[in-house]
Each structure stands twice: as structure tokens, then as C-alpha cells.
Amino acid sequence: MKQISKTRQPLPSISIATPAQIRTGGKGMEIRWGITDSPFGKCFLAETSLRISHLSFLDNDETESLETLTKDWPDADLQRDDELASSTSQRIFTEDRPPISLHIRGTEFQLKVWRALLEIADGELSTYGRLAKRIGMDGAARAVGNAVGRNRISYIIPCHRVIRENGVLGGYRWGTTRKKAMLAHEKAKLIIRP
């Protein structure tokens, strides 16, 4: 009989944006951003001091992602660095991903939801209701859905693993085709042992 065991990427270490960083709009911070390839199409990556702070996917150009980054950190020193983005993408999307670090900006509630997303194993799915229950806030599925939608670090914080209560995939900020591809990619990584 064959046994299927799920793979699990190492959980990223998380650095939370300080109140001072948020209050000053990132003044004094250097954020390097770039455009690169990924298994799911072109992506936009941004890093603060070698901590990933933004990962989004592009269907057109980088305008929307760059506007979001600028809105989050209006006074930071933003510098384009496609070479760094390419190197980071290779680390993120490799089968045996090394530990990575994230720099996250969010409310206490959003951080709870994003940490709960990180606990969903590769190849598994959850619903907004189950996520709400996991963080001890039964009945807060809608608020959880809003927090999932505010995730700035796609794929690594796996918002693509959340489906509707009725089992339908539901929407995804970067399209349901991309969401299906991500889920299929993760299922393909399941290890089958004799």
C-alpha cells in the first residue's frame, strides 16, 4: 500500500513593521523592488533589508503593484533591482525552499489571519470560516476574508489555499486560473512512498 505524506516548506521568519516605520511612511527605509519570472507568470517582488515585504503577480505591467508599495511606504527610498528580484524568486519557488524572512505591515487582526494561513500545509485547503475558528473568532469569516485579501506577500503567505464554504475555489486577486495552477503545483509536490 502506498502512503502519501505532505511536504511542508519551512515557515518564514516574520519581522513586523514597527509603529515608527508605519507612522513615518518608511522614512529611512530602503526598499528594493523588481520584476521577474515565476512558475505562475511575471511577479513583482520587494524587499527591505533582505526581508520580503511584497510579492504580487502581474498580468500587465508593474504600475498597480508599484502604486500599492508606494502607498504602503510613501517615504521609503524605493530602488528598482530586477537582479535581486530574480535571485529571490529562485529561492521562493524552488522545490526545497530555504528559510526566508518576511517584513510584514498589518493590523493585529490581519497578522493573526496571515499566521493562520502559514499553518495550512502544502496541498491542503481551508475556508474563511475555518480560519476564523482557528484564530478563535468564530463568526468572523467576512473579516477574515478581508484580511486574506489584504495580504501583500502572495504565495508565501498562502491566501490561494482558501476556498469558499461550499467548496468552490472562489475569487483570487491574481485570477482563478493562477490559483488553480498554484494548487495543482502544490499537489504535484506531495511525496508518494511505497
* Set 55, 159, 182, 183: catalytic member: 159
pLDDT given for residue 7 in this prediction:
52
How far is CA 1 from its chain centroid? 36
3-8+106-193: what fold? Answer: Arc Repressor Mutant, subunit A (1.10.10)
- The 10s digit of each residue's pLDDT in 12-61 is 889 999 999 999 999 999 999 999 999 999 999 999 987 999 999 998 88
pLDDT given for residue 11 in this prediction:
82
> Pick the residue with more confidence: 140 or 166?
140
Whether this prediction's pTM lies above 0.95 is answered by no
- The CATH H-level superfamily of 13-103 is Methylated DNA-protein cysteine methyltransferase domain (3.30.160.70)
- The 10s digit of each residue's pLDDT in 75-119 is 999 999 999 999 999 999 987 788 899 999 999 999 999 999 999
Which residues in the chain are classed under CATH 3.30.160.70?
13-103
Which residues in the chain are classed under CATH 1.10.10.10?
3-8+106-193
- The yes-or-no answer on residue 43 being catalytic is no
pLDDT given for residue 3 in this prediction:
39
Phi, psi of 54 (to 5 degrees): -160, 135
